[in-house]
Amino acid sequence: MAAPGPHRARAAAADDPVKMPRAGARTAVTVNGMRLNHLALAVRDIERSRRFYETFFGFGAGPATSYDDGTLIIRDADGFDLALHPDPEPRKVPDFQHFGFTCRDVAERLAALEDAGVPIVERWSEPGFDSFKCLDPDGYVVEVYWEETTSQDSDTSR
């Protein structure tokens, strides 16, 4: 089993300029006054991808926005935008490339995805850290993880 991703090392670094929120916290990570606000994915079937991200990852909190080029933007409750752009042949990405979501109850999320037949490609669990990676409908690797970074994290919600 592969070692967990680089976010573990970042959370442990005391001099890191990134302010890491508690796992599961509803706080955007800010770096030098900026925060990551959207992710754009080339997808074969926009509606299929929309259903996947709305069903399993909390997107769809606000009205979707459609653009003339076929792009659809859906949002989560924190205002993070996921731009889905039609592409009949999305490019292959390196095996390491992935994006991730934090949540307190990784096992519950894993069960929901497994019940729906979503391919699970990696699992990792150790004291203070729990993670799995799955494939979205276009083969993008999506990680779901939780890590205890301080003793205060024990009361965080999902």
Segment 7-32 shows an average pLDDT of 46
Domain that holds residue 136: 92-158
Q: What is the DSSP string of the chain?
A: -PPP-THHHHHH-TT-SS-PPPTT-S---EETTEE--EEEEEES-HHHHHHHHHHHH---SS--EE-TTS-EEEE-TT--EEEEEE-SSPPP--TT--EEEE-S-HHHHHHHHHHTTPPEEEEEEETTEEEEEEE-TTS-EEEEEEE--SGGGGG---
Q: Please indicate, yes or no, whether residues 75 and 112 belong to a single structural domain of this protein.
A: no
CATH number at residue 105: 3.10.180.10
Residue 28: predicted pLDDT: 59
Asked, for residue 55, whether it belongs to a domain, the answer is: yes
Name the domain count of the chain.
2
42-97 pLDDT, tens digit each = 999 999 999 999 999 999 888 899 999 999 999 999 999 999 999 998 788 888 99
Same domain, 116 and 130: yes
The per-residue pLDDT for 1 is 45
